[in-house]
A and B are shown apart, each in its own frame.
Chain A
């Protein structure tokens, strides 16, 4: 069955960096767009970024553009999010989620990893 497992979250100071990973199993990884979506109590669900199966097409939310970088390693069936210049407002649970073949709805989500940005 499809499984997505995030890792790499933790406590980081403002201005710091963190790299999140998402390991996928049970899917033809290269066939699907992969996404990062975050959730905070105050702002609810916020889409962060997505990357096509080949890695050639990438989009970011304006709130993270220029600070976050999404990437994937298809051989390792892994998705990554490099987060630099972190701010308090980046504090959230970060989920990786698989897009569907017909559009960007999300049938599969990981359990999430908590990122806390605080001094």
Chain B
């Protein structure tokens, strides 16, 4: 199985500051047919709600997601960046690989306001 490891487990950031979450996969999640895209998604989850898709193919923003959210990385190392943290961004963030079955998620990173 591909193990997804996020760091840090929790993050406290001031309003308007940058938040950076890392995700590392135990194997490459490059999409084999073209080796251009990585099969990596990011989600945001608020209490009592299901996860909400933010990013797929490592860097493609889902429709309607604010542009302060961006994804980067390739192969085994990925980053989710919130460029200017807003109060509504307080949540737990998860990465997920969809390169191989079983599909696996990171353990989550809690983002709070300082």
Judge: A and B partners, yes or no: yes
A residues with a Cβ closer than 8 A to B are 35, 44-47, 50, 59, 61-62, 95, 97, 100, 102-107, 109-112
Docked complex Cα distance between A35 and B105 (Å): 14
Q: Which of A35, A100, A105 has the most CB of B within 10 A?
A: A105
Q: In the complex, which residue of chain B has the Cβ closest to the Cβ of A59? A: B101
B residues with a Cβ closer than 8 A to A are 39, 41, 43, 49-53, 56-57, 62, 94, 96, 98, 101-108
Which residues of B sit under 8 angstroms from A97, Cβ to Cβ? 50
| B94 x A45 contact (CB < 8 A) | yes
Main SS class of interface, B = loop
Report the minimal beta-carbon distance from A98 to chain B, rounded to whole angstroms.
Answer: 10
| A44 x B101 contact (CB < 8 A) | no
| B101 x A100 contact (CB < 8 A) | no
| B50 x A44 contact (CB < 8 A) | no
Residue among A45, A61, A105, A107 making CB contact with B98, cutoff 8 Å: A105
| A47 x B108 contact (CB < 8 A) | no
A-B contacts counted at CB < 8 A amount to 52
CB-CB under 8 A for A61 and B50, given A103-B39, A103-B56: no
Docked complex Cα distance between A106 and B96 (Å): 10
Q: Contacts A47-B104, A50-B103, A59-B101 given; 14 further ones with Cβ under 8 A?
A: A45-B96, A47-B105, A59-B102, A61-B102, A62-B102, A95-B50, A100-B56, A103-B56, A103-B57, A105-B96, A106-B43, A106-B53, A106-B96, A111-B49
User: Which A-B residue pairs are the 7 nearest by beta carbons?
Assistant: A109-B50, A104-B98, A105-B41, A47-B103, A45-B105, A105-B56, A107-B53
